A and B are shown apart, each in its own frame.
Chain A
Amino acid sequence: MLIALLAAFLLGGGGASGAILTPGTVKEIGKQVEAQVSDTARAEAAAETLAKLKVEVKGFEKTFAKSGKGLTKLYKDHGADGDRMQGVLAELNASWEASQQRAIDLRFELKESLTEEEWAAVFEGE
């Protein structure tokens, strides 16, 4: 439980990869963009951005899974102290930070392909 919780601190979530954003959700964004953006060139540019986002998400899923195994092992190990756990967390944290920044970069890249009206249409509803 605490292992998942620690991961949640890093990721703000706790799904399969610890994050909500999955290849499936990226695909869903793509469908919505496709429906809202009629301009072919901008739609293609948005699709390229989302393809990069999908790669990013998949890459971090792998990193997360690997770290989760390491943390679980340390949690079970009575002789493993917190420093060792912090070491694994530090690595995961660095990956998370990088992935986070990359995702935000791509959010702004996606924005360049959509007008304000299209953006509102895609993300309206919450």
Chain B
Amino acid sequence: MTRMMRTTGAAVTLAVAALVLLPACALRKGPPDPAKVQRKMNATLEGEKALIRSTVSNSENADKLIALLADRDRLVAEQAETVGAYRDRMKALNADYSANRSDFDQAVADYNGDRMRLQGELVALIDAMKKETTADEWKAVSKYQLKKLNPREMAYKEAGGGS
């Protein structure tokens, strides 16, 4: 097989593996500089903490909210690991011409169990964060989070992006 065909084959493998929903990290057009991404994320996360300290008037609430960010980061890392494992499993299944439907169904079921648990934890975490703020404080904090925090970059290291 020529180099071109191998490249195309790789792209197609990714695409069909996405039938079973691979993480988007795998489709980065070019490998970003991990150190640069990490520096950017560190700065953004520090900015988030600074914003919370300057926005949430009750310092005890601010401390609790910042502590919750650590839980969030743990969930992000766990999510990336879960998705990566699912991606690898589905990629292997898809490439296997003789793979059975039940093999796919089991992989989906396993993944569903993990992600539903993590999803529940995330929703609970969002609730907990809101409770540490007033409506106006949350408006500022959530605006920053939605605008500045990029899940693809946060999950980058754990998902093995760029490797």
Annotate B72-111 by CB proximity to A: 1 below 8 A, 0 otherwise.
Answer: 1001100100010011000100110100010011001001
User: Taking A5-B76, A126-B10 as contacts, is the C-beta distance between A15 and B146 under 8 angstroms?
Assistant: no
| B:100-144 near A, CB below 8 Å | 101, 104-105, 108, 111-112, 115-116, 118-120, 122-127, 130, 133-135, 138-139, 142-143
Q: Which of A104, A116, A119 contacts B20 (CB 8 A)?
A: A104
Query: Nearest chain A CB to B70's CB is how many angstroms away?
Result: 14
Size of interface on A: residues with Cβ below 8 Å to B: 56
User: Taking A107-B16, A125-B8 as contacts, is the C-beta distance between A9 and B22 under 8 angstroms?
Assistant: no
Say yes or no: A11 contacts B21, CB within 8 Å.
yes
The majority secondary structure among interface residues of chain A is helix
Q: A45 near B: Cβ within 8 Å?
A: no
Q: Which A residues are CB-close (under 8 A) to B142? A: 75-76
- Rounded to whole angstroms, the CA-CA distance of A89 and B154 in the bound complex is 22
Name the CB-closest residue of B to A32. Answer: B12
The number of inter-chain residue pairs (CB within 8 angstroms) is: 185
Q: B66 near A: Cβ within 8 Å?
A: no
Query: Nearest chain A CB to B96's CB is how many angstroms away?
Result: 9
Annotate A4-15 by CB proximity to B: 1 below 8 A, 0 otherwise.
Answer: 111011111111
Size of interface on B: residues with Cβ below 8 Å to A: 69
Q: Which B residues are CB-close (under 8 A) to A82? A: 123-124, 126-127
| Complex A-B: 12 CB contacts under 8 Å | A1-B154, A2-B72, A8-B23, A9-B116, A9-B122, A12-B87, A12-B111, A20-B21, A21-B21, A32-B9, A107-B19, A124-B95
The 7 closest A-B pairs by CB, nearest first: A125-B9, A1-B149, A20-B18, A25-B15, A12-B21, A21-B18, A125-B10
Binding site for B on A (CB under 8 A): 1-6, 8-15, 18-21, 25-26, 28-29, 31-32, 35, 53, 72, 75-76, 78-79, 81-82, 85-86, 89, 93, 97, 100-101, 103-104, 106-108, 110-111, 116, 119-126
Binding site for A on B (CB under 8 A): 1, 5-27, 72, 75-76, 79, 83, 86-87, 91, 94-95, 97, 101, 104-105, 108, 111-112, 115-116, 118-120, 122-127, 130, 133-135, 138-139, 142-143, 145-146, 148-152, 154-155
